[in-house]
Structure 1
Amino acid sequence: MNFEIPTEITNFLAEVDLFIEKKIKPLEQIDDNIRFFDHRREDARTDWEREGLPNEEWELLLRKTKDLAIEAGIFSYPFPEEYGGRNGSNLGMAIIREHLAGKGLGLHNDLQNEHSVVGNNIGLLLMLKYGTDAQKDQWLDGMKTASQGFAFGITEPEHGSDATHMETSATRDGDHWIINGEKTWNTGVHIADADMVMARTSGKPGDALGITAFLVPMKTPGLKVEEYLWTFNMPSDHARVSFTDVRVPSSSIFGGEGKGLMVIQHFFNENRIRQAASSLGAAQYCINESVKYANERKPFGKPLSTNQAIQFPLVDLNTRCEMLRALIHKTAWLMDTDGAFSVSDKVSMCNYQANRLCCEAADFAMQVHGGMGYSRYKPFEHIYRHHRRYRITEGADEIQIRRAAGYLFGFMDQKKPKGVGV
């Protein structure tokens, strides 16, 4: 087996690093833009008078960064070549996401809102696979420049992680559908052109089939943003959205009638492996910074690093990073080889393990750095607060474990995935 990172990915990382040094770091340092990343970051980013949403200056800076990355041909790495991309792989995206998160906080990569100089535009990839010709004509040009996009309306207030028990419904009315219901944690609707709304069109609660995805323009009558939910890590763009007699044409169906859950599972699998890689990168950053500080700090006349109470936890965390890195790379490679649904068990393993690891690494980094580690003058509290949400969103830890168990014990209806040893 060859564990070397493919040359084309290594070369791309070097290209990205050079781009960050030449274009992004100078932008980060001018006009007091550093306020978005230093101890003032939460206040600088948040419009406290507008329901805690990201403020205009912050989002304009992210837009400027994205434009520079698009111009440099960096942003579109995962897109097909015909859409200005480089036919990037899942393995490539996992390695890139870890690499960028491993650099710490900065304008190059900020996971709070999925901002990155290398785009994580899974919506475009879904559009290419599941969109109709008319939908592709409407969306693809805007999506490849990140000037157009849709949010995902999946989670419901009363059902949380249980995506198959869905009270939001859509009933046919001639060549149209009438949608009624409510979604929560509907991220990014304040800048979205449409909301991809999951609604039950047939079947009964618990059925996998019968859920349909609808692309609903945000200005559609009956669609209302009820509130934006304040969170552990601000700003927040997570909304509760209601749908009252929302009328959309049949042409708004995305991925086929009754097949919406398949679209979402595809989205989850690709996004979860990238999310896991980001959490791994952030965890490694916390470990590296802690080792560096432990070698420099000399309480009682000797470096902190001479104490086994510091050494042993950091060795354990670093060992877990090494093991998880191997699993993430293997899983991403298998996704490229056999498809997004071929390694659902391993995607779940990677996701919950990486998110737990990042929280533990950030917590211990705070401990190693003492009072300053707890303060906002160091990035660890921000990393903890941000990555803590990943242990809940897109499937809580317990849901991920339950999913892996379903394959391990043969409870799942799908084909037993590769690599299960019993």
Structure 2
Amino acid sequence: MDFALPRELQDYLARLDAFIDDTIRPLQARDDNERYFDHRREWARTDFERDGLPRPEWEALMAEAVRLADEAGFYRFSLPREYGGEDGGNLWMAVIREHLAAKGLGLFNDLQTEHSIVGNFPVIVMLRDFGSPEQKERYIRGALEGGFHLSFGLTEPEHGSDATFMATRAVPEAREGRAGWRIDGEKMWTTGMHTASHCVVFARTEGKDGDARGITAFLVPSDTPGVRVEEYLWTFNMPTDHPRVSFTDVWVADEAVFGEPGGGLALAQAFVHENRIRQAASSLGAAVYCIEESVRYARDRTVFGQDLSRNQAIQFPLVELATQAEMLRLLIRKTAWEMDQMPHPEVERRLSDKVSMCNYWANRLCCEAADRAMQVHGGIGYSRHKPFEHIFRHHRRYRITEGSEEIQMRKVAAYLFGYMGPRKNAVPAPTPRSSTPAKPRMVEAAQ
């Protein structure tokens, strides 16, 4: 058993660091671009007079960083080689994501917007695995070249984790001699809709509420008549690009069906494991950043004539966080490595509980580490002159999104108690209880 990182991966991280130092940091320092990362961050990034949306110049800066990373050969690392990538696996991506997040905030990796110079491509994975040949040809190229941007319409105002109870409906309807579908409903948290060319809309097409089957995904152009952004939902961490969107008498042709009719939930879950393990690694990296910055500050800060770090009240909470980070890193890398050893469909059947363990615990750990960093740094830690409050506000969302931690703990419990997963046939069924109460045992008193 060898826990050492492969030499090739270590070399890759070194090249990545050199690219950041030589190309991305100078771009961040140019033309007052630092305003997006200091205590004025939200005002610089957020257009409060335009529904709280990201400012176009902020999004343009991220796009320029991505362009440079793509030219340097880093951005598409996780993609298959047929799309210009390097077939980067889950282990490498987990290590890279932790490495970048542990550097703190910067143009090289800004998790608030899911921006990174090493990209994550769930949309392309979805198109590759579920798209028709025409959809693959048109939209994968468009996603890589910038003409195709996709938002995701699954959650609804009255339905979040209970997606099988969604109220949005699609019914067959022909118009002008073309077969198609009429969609009516409403979606929440359709992230990126302000720039999206299309929205993946999930709607029930058959079956009854609660059925996993019968939900179909549709690729709906965002400018289709009847698609309306009702409001942008302001969040704990701004800017916001998470609107509530209504779909009223929206018609699309049959060609808009994405994946198997009635099998839309499989599409929604297809990339969740890759997303969750990588996001867990990012939360771990951000937690490590908070821990290390707190240690550094405590060694430098003098209180009552000695280093702040001499106090056990400072030491012990950071010791516990560092211990958890060390254990979590091993679980994340082991799980990512195991994911790389099996076909993707097998992950759901054999490893889904471990992915959930990594994700919900990493997100919780990051919030605890950011909170402790604020406490160790005192007043300056609570201020926006330090990044900890920003890290807390951003990573707090992940305890709800990507599957709330309660949903993920329920998945772990289902595997643990044998309701699903590899232990399903290994855990014995409970013994039926007799309906006749047992007679009390009479014990004679000793003479």
Q: State if a TM-score over 0.5 links the two structures.
A: yes
| Structure 2 residue identity aligned to 1:373 | G
Q: Decide whether the 8 Å contact of 2:69 with 2:118 is kept in 1.
A: yes
1:235 matches 2:243: no
C-alpha deviation, 1:8, in angstroms: 2.7
Aligned to 1:209: 213
Q: How does 1:338-417 map to 2 (within 5 A)?
A: 338=342, 339=344, 340-341=347-348, 342-412=350-420, 416=423
C-alpha deviation, 1:115, in angstroms: 0.5
* More divergent stretch after superposition (258-267 vs 386-395): 258-267
What do residues 102-133 of structure 1 show as CA deviations (whole Å, max 9, x unaligned)? 10000000011100001112111121111110
| Structure 2 residue identity aligned to 1:317 | L
Q: How does 1:128-139 map to 2 (within 5 A)?
A: 128-139=128-139
Task: Give the Cα–Cα distance (whole angstroms) in 2 for the partners of residues 375 and 49 of structure 1.
Answer: 24
| Structure 2 residue identity aligned to 1:218 | S
Q: Decide whether the 8 Å contact of 1:345 with 1:417 is kept in 2.
A: no
Aligned to 1:246: 250
| SS in structure 2 at match of 1:204 | coil
| Structure 1 residue identity aligned to 2:186 | E
C-alpha deviation, 1:410, in angstroms: 2.4
Match of 2:315 among 304, 308, 311: 311
What do residues 24-55 of structure 1 show as CA deviations (whole Å, max 9, x unaligned)? 00001010000000111111000111100000
| SS in structure 1 at match of 2:271 | helix
Task: Give the Cα–Cα distance (whole angstroms) in 2 for the partners of residues 255 and 11 of structure 1.
Answer: 39
| SS in structure 1 at match of 2:189 | strand
* More divergent stretch after superposition (336-345 vs 371-380): 336-345
Aligned to 1:9: 9
1:76 matches 2:80: no
Instruction: Kindly name which structure, 1 or 2, has the bigger radius of gyration based on alpha carbons.
Output: 2
Task: Give the Cα–Cα distance (whole angstroms) in 2 for the partners of residues 372 and 96 of structure 1.
Answer: 30
Q: How does 1:44-59 map to 2 (within 5 A)?
A: 44-59=44-59
Match of 1:182 among 186, 195, 213: 186
Aligned to 2:169: 169
| Structure 2 residue identity aligned to 1:38 | D
Task: Give the Cα–Cα distance (whole angstroms) in 1 for the partners of residues 12 and 145 of structure 2.
Answer: 20
Aligned to 2:30: 30
| Structure 1 residue identity aligned to 2:326 | E
Aligned to 1:111: 111
C-alpha deviation, 1:7, in angstroms: 2.8
Task: Give the Cα–Cα distance (whole angstroms) in 2 for the partners of residues 419 and 331 of structure 1.
Answer: 22
What do residues 222-246 of structure 1 show as CA deviations (whole Å, max 9, x unaligned)? 1111110001100010010011111
| SS in structure 2 at match of 1:388 | helix
| Structure 1 residue identity aligned to 2:229 | V
What do residues 291-343 of structure 1 show as CA deviations (whole Å, max 9, x unaligned)? 00010001101111111111111111011011111111111122221224231
Task: Give the Cα–Cα distance (whole angstroms) in 1 for the partners of residues 102 and 203 of structure 2.
Answer: 38
Task: Give the Cα–Cα distance (whole angstroms) in 2 for the partners of residues 33 and 291 of structure 1.
Answer: 29
Q: Decide whether the 8 Å contact of 1:410 with 1:416 is kept in 2.
A: yes
Give runs of ≥4 in structure 1 deviating > 4 Å: 414-420
Task: Give the Cα–Cα distance (whole angstroms) in 2 for the partners of residues 168 and 9 of structure 1.
Answer: 45
1:327 matches 2:334: no
| SS in structure 2 at match of 1:197 | strand
Alignment: residue pair count: 420
Aligned to 2:273: 269
Task: Give the Cα–Cα distance (whole angstroms) in 1 for the partners of residues 424 and 399 of structure 2.
Answer: 24
| Structure 2 residue identity aligned to 1:223 | V
| Structure 1 residue identity aligned to 2:166 | M
C-alpha deviation, 1:208, in angstroms: 1.1
C-alpha deviation, 1:173, in angstroms: 1.8
Q: Which sections of structure 2, spanning at least 5 residues, go unmatched?
A: 430-447
Task: Give the Cα–Cα distance (whole angstroms) in 2 for the partners of residues 383 and 418 of structure 1.
Answer: 42
Distance 1:61 1:417, change over 3 A: farther
Distance 1:417 1:272, change over 3 A: farther
Question: Scaled by the length of structure 2, what TM-score is found?
Answer: 0.91
Q: Decide whether the 8 Å contact of 1:39 with 1:376 is kept in 2.
A: yes
1:288 matches 2:311: no
Q: Which sections of structure 1, spanning at least 5 residues, go unmatched?
A: none
| Structure 2 residue identity aligned to 1:44 | A
| SS in structure 2 at match of 1:186 | coil
Q: Decide whether the 8 Å contact of 2:159 with 2:165 is kept in 1.
A: yes
C-alpha deviation, 1:270, in angstroms: 1.5
Task: Give the Cα–Cα distance (whole angstroms) in 1 for the partners of residues 402 and 157 of structure 2.
Answer: 14
Identical residues among aligned pairs (%): 61
Task: Give the Cα–Cα distance (whole angstroms) in 2 for the partners of residues 180 and 384 of structure 1.
Answer: 37
Aligned to 1:259: 263
Task: Give the Cα–Cα distance (whole angstroms) in 2 for the partners of residues 303 and 275 of structure 1.
Answer: 35
Distance 1:416 1:254, change over 3 A: farther
* More divergent stretch after superposition (189-198 vs 374-383): 189-198
Distance 1:140 1:209, change over 3 A: same
Task: Give the Cα–Cα distance (whole angstroms) in 2 for the partners of residues 185 and 31 of structure 1.
Answer: 33
Question: Scaled by the length of structure 1, what TM-score is found?
Answer: 0.97
Aligned to 1:222: 226
Task: Give the Cα–Cα distance (whole angstroms) in 2 for the partners of residues 72 and 344 of structure 1.
Answer: 34
C-alpha deviation, 1:148, in angstroms: 2.2
C-alpha deviation, 1:149, in angstroms: 2.2
Aligned to 1:299: 303
C-alpha deviation, 1:176, in angstroms: 0.5
Q: Decide whether the 8 Å contact of 2:205 with 2:215 is kept in 1.
A: yes
